[in-house]
Amino acid sequence: LTILNAIRNYPLTELRVNLDSVLYAAEDIQDILISSDRLFAYIENKASAGVTSVEEFLAKVPDPILPGDLEWSVTTVTVTNPERDLGDDLLVDLYLPKTSKGSSPLVVISHGVASSRKTFSYVAEHLASYGFAVAAIEHPNTDASSLQQYIAGFEDGADPRDAIQRPSDITAVLDFLERKDENNNSDWTGKVETDGVGVLGQSLGGYTVLAAGGAQLNLDYLEEVCSDSDKTILPFNLSLLLQCETLKLPSQNYVTHDQRIKAVLAINPVSSAVFGPAGLEQIQVPVLMIASSNDILAPAVEEQIEPFSWLKTEEKYLLLVKNGTHFSFLPGESGGGEDVFSLPEALVGPDPKQAHPVIKAISTVFFQTYINESDEYELFLTEAFLSAPEGDEFKFALTGLLSESEIAEVLSNPRANED
């Protein structure tokens, strides 16, 4: 699917183009990139003031970029979510570390659209080597095979119920693991802790873990945003197309929060309109939000940076990845491995494998700190640790403090970074 192929296959000899719309879209994309660059520079300057030697941290704990010492096994289980239609069972890959310490803390992984439970296997394996049990869910209707069926004409498009069903998938998996433990199943008994759980998700999976972690759906706010976006020629925030679909749900108060969740890591989440400030401030657990400066599907400023400023939880972090895109954390050079379709290089950006070490390390550090309550690992949540290796095309800036007023000042005043 490219613009050139669309023109080649257009059935008429003439093709009319709305130049106003094209120019508007081009300007909007340019604004997205400029705004992200300004904020990256501001966060980088802000963070560098407190930089400490990485060697000081490594003297206390192992380097979290490197694999841990534990071996692990993986098995695939089938889980039924009573909130879904009959037959829409979940496939879940469960990674169990081989440890003598008894039960292992649990991290649940939620993939984005057109991905699968295998997409973040590189993160799951890394976490398992550090002693975490990991449950990687494959969500029906939004996985890779469902998208392929949709394009082939065999399935309908986005289902607004996914906004409710995806967080309930996490609850169903936690319930399943608890039942196995209670029934003294030899494969599970005493091996997985389901109280005090970490969750990690990307894109729509980022929305999923925020919702399961306490963010409240705000349909009134969503309706206002979607109504405003309809009045513009082409608002270049493609995630709004997905978020606005949620308005097709019956109007009521939806509860997606699972109290067992203790920490949330959201990568490129779609979150601005579907939650709004009032919805995101409901989260009371630690949150790490990751944003990519060149993401045009879920733009960093609108979907992660501004929403980050709405969070009221005391423990929160924003990691901004310069030159990162919406596909920078997926497997393979194409940005998706075998999970999604081959994508143009310009859309994928630099080789995603360059970003994998930092994502593996930051997830380990974050969950060690807030699931295992390890004070030593909290030292790594600094700018010093995230310095990119020489030759790496990605750059990283991490902050725990960023207000709406700061964002507005940086975006309105190009010289704010110099102050």
pLDDT tens per residue, range 162-206: 899 999 999 999 999 998 877 777 677 788 999 999 999 999 999
Nearest to 275 by CA among 303, 249, 252, 297: 303
Higher pLDDT, 156 or 95: 95
> What pLDDT is recorded for position 130?
95
Nearest to 44 by CA among 301, 382, 369, 328: 382
Average pLDDT in the 86-101 region? Answer: 88
Which helix (H) or strand (E) is 138 found in, with range? Answer: strand 133-138
Q: How far apart are CA 379 and CA 63, in angstroms?
A: 12
Higher pLDDT, 314 or 414: 314
Start-end of H helices in 136-197:
144-151, 162-182
Lowest mean pLDDT of 7-11, 228-232, 359-363, name the range: 228-232
Alpha carbon distances (Å) from 248 to 146, 154, 162, 216, 272: 20, 22, 11, 17, 18
Nearest to 97 by CA among 120, 128, 69: 128
Lowest mean pLDDT of 112-121, 338-347, 407-416, name the range: 338-347
Tokens of 84: 């879904």
Q: What is the phi/psi pair of residue 319, to 5°?
A: -110, 115
> What pLDDT is recorded for position 338?
47
Average pLDDT in the 139-165 region? Answer: 63
Give the confidence band of 339 by pLDDT, cuts at 50, 70, 90: very low
Q: Is the pLDDT of residue 34 over 80?
A: no
Please compute Rg for the chain using Cα positions: 21
> What pLDDT is recorded for position 388?
62
Contacts of 235 by beta carbon, 8 Å cutoff, 6+ apart: 28, 229
Q: How far apart are CA 302 and CA 372, in angstroms?
A: 32
> What pLDDT is recorded for position 389?
63
> What pLDDT is recorded for position 175?
95
> What pLDDT is recorded for position 42?
83
> What pLDDT is recorded for position 296?
84
Q: Is the pLDDT of residue 341 over 60?
A: no
Nearest to 246 by CA among 268, 215, 282: 215
Give the confidence band of 149 by pLDDT, cuts at 50, 70, 90: very low
Higher pLDDT, 379 or 198: 198
Higher pLDDT, 115 or 67: 67
Q: pTM for the whole thing? A: 0.86
Give the confidence band of 155 by pLDDT, cuts at 50, 70, 90: very low
Contacts of 294 by beta carbon, 8 Å cutoff, 6+ apart: 33, 36, 323, 324, 325, 349
Average pLDDT, the chain: 83
pLDDT in tens, 225-251: 988 755 554 456 778 888 999 999 998
Nearest to 275 by CA among 225, 201, 325, 203: 225
SS3 category, 202:
strand
Q: Is the pLDDT of residue 143 over 80?
A: no
> What pLDDT is recorded for position 117?
93
Q: Give one word for 206, left, alpha or beta, with left for phi > 0 and alpha for psi -120 to 50.
A: alpha
* Strand blocks (E) in 236-333: 261-267, 287-292, 316-322
> What pLDDT is recorded for position 237?
77
Q: pLDDT exceeding 90 applies to what percent of the chain? A: 48
Q: How far apart are CA 333 and CA 353, in angstroms?
A: 7
27-41, 139-153, 204-218, 326-340, range with greatest mean pLDDT: 204-218
Q: Is the pLDDT of residue 144 over 50?
A: no
